Amino acid sequence: MYKKVLIAEDFDSINIAVKQTLENLGVQEIQYAKYCDDAILKLKKALQDDQPFDLLISDLSFVEDYREVTIASGEELIQAIKEIQPEIKVIVYSVEDKPYIIKTLFDEAQINGYVKKGRNSISQLKTAIETLLYGKTFISPELAHALQDKTGKEIDSYDITLLSHLANGVAIEEMETLFKHLNITPNSKSTIEKRVAKLKDYFKANNNIHLIAITKDLGII
C-alpha cells in the first residue's frame, strides 16, 4: 500500500471521507490541502525532507474565496506537481464528466486514475488505488467511453476562443476587428463565419444560440 498520500480537495466534507477511506486502506500518512497552493507547498516540503508523497488524490475545481491564489484549478496543480515530482501517481477525484476534459487529463497530464464523485465513488476510489498499485490505470466504469471520445482532437484552441467571445456577447461583425486587434488569425468575417458554421454542424446546433448552450453544457467554454 502507498505510505504517504496527499489530498487536494476544497470541500471539507469530502476531505473527511477520503481521509477515512485511506485510513481504512492502511495508508500511514495522510495530508490534505484545501488550496492548490498549499498542496504544492506540502509536496515541496516532503521532497526536501526526503519523504516524498507516493500518491496525489486531487479534485479539479476549487471554489474561489477571499484568498488570492496562484494555482486555481486541479489541472494546473497536476501539471505543476508533475514538473516537481514526475514519478508521483495521480488520481483525479471529481464530479467532472465531460469526455473532453477527462481525455485531456489522461493524454496531456498523464494522470493514472480518474474517479467520478457519485453514489459509489468511495468504493471506486479504493479500487482505483489498488489498481494503481499494480501499475495500471483506472477510470470510473460509467466514464470508460470518455477515452474513446474524439471531440478533443477536432476542436482546437481557436474554436474555444471563438466560442468564448461569442458567449461574451461579441457579434460576428465585431469579431473580425477584435481578432485583428488581438493578433488572432484567421480573422476575416468570412472565415470566422465558416468556423462557426463548422462548429454548428459538429455539435448539431440549430443556430448560434443553441451552439453556445451546447458547448457550455459540455464544459468546453
Partner DNA sequence: AAGTATTTTACGGGAATCCGTAATTGGGAG
Partner DNA sequence: CTCCCAATTACGGATTCCCGTAAAATACTT
**For binding to DNA (CB under 7 A), which residues are involved?**
171-173, 185-191, 193-194, 196-197, 200, 207-208
Task: Report how far residue 86's alpha carbon sits from residue 123's, in angstroms, rounded to the nearest whole number.
Answer: 27
Find the shortest distance in angstroms from Cβ 183 to DNA: 11
Region 11-70 residues binding a second copy, contact defined as CB under 8 A: 11-18, 20, 34, 63, 65
CA 160, 165, 171, 176 dihedral sign is negative
Which residues are registered as beta bridge partners of 5? 30, 55
Q: What is the per-residue DSSP string for 70-93?
A: S--BHHHHHHHHHHH-TT-EEEEE
Minimum gap (Å) between residue 98 Cβ and DNA: 24
86 binds a second copy (CB under 8 A): no
What is the SS3 assignment for 56?
Answer: strand
Cβ of residue 200: shortest distance to a second copy, in angstroms? 10
- Which amino acid is located at 30 in the chain? I
- Binding partner selected for residue 177 from a second copy, DNA, none, CB under the kind-specific 5 to 8 Å limit: none
Q: How far is the CB of 206 from DNA (least distance, A)?
A: 8
How far apart (Å, rounded) are the C-alpha atoms in residues 212 and 218?
10
Question: What cell was used for 187?
Answer: 480573422
Task: Report 99-138 residues binding a second copy (CB under 8 A).
Answer: 117-123
Give me the residues that bind a second copy (CB under 8 A), please: 10-18, 20, 34, 63, 65, 117-123, 142, 166-171, 205-210, 212-213, 216-217
